[in-house]
Amino acid sequence: MFCSMPRDSRRLFTVQISVYFFLLFLSLSASLACCFSSSGKSFGRKMMKPSLLRSVHSALARGSSHLTRRGYGSESVPQRKVVILGAAGGIGQPLSLLMKLNPLVSSLALYDIAGTPGVAADISHINTRSEVAGYQGEEELGKALEGSDIVIIPAGVPRKPGMTRDDLFNINAGIVKNLCTAIAKYSPNALVNMISNPVNSTVPIAAEIFKKAGTYDEKRLFGVTTLDVVRAKTFYAGKAKVPVAEVNVPVVGGHAGITILPLFSQATPQGNLAEEEIKALTKRTQEGGTEVVEAKAGKGSATLSMAYAGAIFADACLKGLNGVPDVVECSFVQSTVTELPFFASKVRLGKNGVEEVLGLGHLSDYEKQGLESLKPELQSSIEKGIKFANQS
């Protein structure tokens, strides 16, 4: 067993065993000293405390578990290729880094119109599982996409002060259309995670492009709305004075302005917040992107938090593909939860992508009002995307 371990694992195991016996030797020495010296009696009592040996055993157990994961777990983890389209951009670079750190990724393909070789070379030096390749220019897009399990699209121009997500439409819609045409050709079975804004329109664009190509599968197309969930959790935890790691807040609707509807009535743990506090939290969640754009004074948008959110959702998709049960995240998908053709709600992920689109659950009166208010704007954004995709 020891000889079959990787070299690094054998070295770590040897060090841990040595430390264990060294501490054990100190304890036994102290015990013997206790028998021959009254001054050693106190020393022996301190060194022979049961907590010491428990700590040593605990450390060794943790180390053994770590060795098992490092030395023997990799063979059972499926090979998964993740592609990032727009990898050299403000979201793409930190997202590429985070995906390089994900142990579920075996192959990471980075694509952009320029700058990708440098990004790929940089993160390829990180000693994690995945192999990294950079692709640059339209002529290499097909090669980047081939054999992919998940394609993440953060490509496009960022928001600037005074811009709404819809202001980005004319530029980003064309980028998404071209990329999805390539996905349909080179990687029709991949899960597609759409980050490019406005998501309320770019997801319908992608759906129409895939339909034209005969490759559309509603279970494999996702609008990444995880950043809204991340913000809702953070803001709620701060107001309710609860540990943020324990917080869960579903966010439904869309991914822009009033179409973002956090369901704080379903938040856990319950914070017993007043209605005015709930309204303030809702507004801050809806305007979170604007808050960052203004704070950066025209020099950027929410690139880092979006990369984090994108990595969280991609990780959930990977777990679903690998058969991990009960993986649930909010996402903007084709839906029958409302009369709208696309809607963000909780989604159970599985080996084929969407396993189940979950319902909204019980809503407060304030949330019911918000739901009805968001529908016209969301419907308009969806129709705008469909119309664009069907233009010649």
Residue-wise pLDDT for 315-346, tens only, equals: 999 999 999 999 999 999 999 999 999 999 99
Residue 208 to residues 190, 313, 333, Cα–Cα distance (Å): 16, 23, 13
| CA–CA separation, 318 and 151 (whole Å) | 11
Half-sphere exposure of 174 (CA within 13 A, CB side): 5
| CA–CA separation, 224 and 196 (whole Å) | 9
Q: Is the pTM of this model over 0.85?
A: no
Nearest to 294 by CA among 198, 161, 192: 161
| CA–CA separation, 311 and 233 (whole Å) | 17
SS (H, E, C) the chain: CCCCCCHHHHHHHHHHHHHHHHHHHHHHHHHHHHHHCHHHHHHHHHHCCHHHHHHHHHHHHHHHHHHHHHHHCHHHCCCCEEEEECCCCCCHHHHHHHHHCCCCCCEEEEEECCCHHHHHHHHHCCCCCCEEEEEECHHHHHHHHCCCCEEEECCCCCCCCCCCHHHHHHHHHHHHHHHHHHHHHHCCCCEEEECCCCHHHHHHHHHHHHHHHCCCCHHHEEECCHHHHHHHHHHHHHHHCCCHHHCECCEEECCCHHHEEECHHHCECCCCCCHHHHHHHHHHHHCHHHHHHHHCCCCCCCHHHHHHHHHHHHHHHHHHHCCCCCEEEEEEEECCCCCCCEEEEEEEEECCEEEEECCCCCCCHHHHHHHHHHHHHHHHHHHHHHHHHCCC
Sign of CA dihedral 34, 37, 39, 40: negative
Cis peptide before 198 (omega within 30 of 0): yes
Nearest to 319 by CA among 89, 138, 78, 144: 78
Q: Tokens at residue 387, please?
A: 């119309």
Name the amino acid, one letter, at 198.
P
| CA–CA separation, 189 and 219 (whole Å) | 10
pLDDT score at 233:
99
| CA–CA separation, 87 and 85 (whole Å) | 6
Catalytic residues: 255
Cβ atoms of 100 and 313 closer than 8 Å: no
pLDDT score at 157:
87
Sign of CA dihedral 54, 57, 63, 68: negative
pLDDT score at 168:
81
| CA–CA separation, 88 and 94 (whole Å) | 9
In the numeric block, the tokens 């790929």 are attached to: 120
Q: Tokens at residue 38, please?
A: 């009254």
pLDDT score at 158:
75
Please enumerate in sequence order all residues whose Cβ is within 8 A of that of 231, keeping only pairs 6 or more positions apart, or say none.
Answer: 284, 285, 288, 305
Q: What is the pLDDT along the chain (392 residues), one digit of tens a residue?
A: 444 444 444 444 444 444 444 444 444 444 434 443 333 433 333 333 444 444 434 443 443 333 333 333 556 899 999 999 999 999 999 999 999 999 999 999 999 999 999 999 999 999 999 999 999 999 999 999 999 999 999 999 876 777 766 678 988 999 999 999 999 999 999 999 999 999 999 999 999 999 999 999 999 999 999 999 999 999 999 999 999 999 999 999 999 999 999 999 999 999 989 999 999 999 999 999 999 999 998 888 999 999 999 999 999 999 999 999 999 999 999 999 999 999 999 999 999 999 999 999 999 999 999 999 999 999 999 999 999 999 95
| CA–CA separation, 7 and 11 (whole Å) | 6
In the numeric block, the tokens 């993160």 are attached to: 123
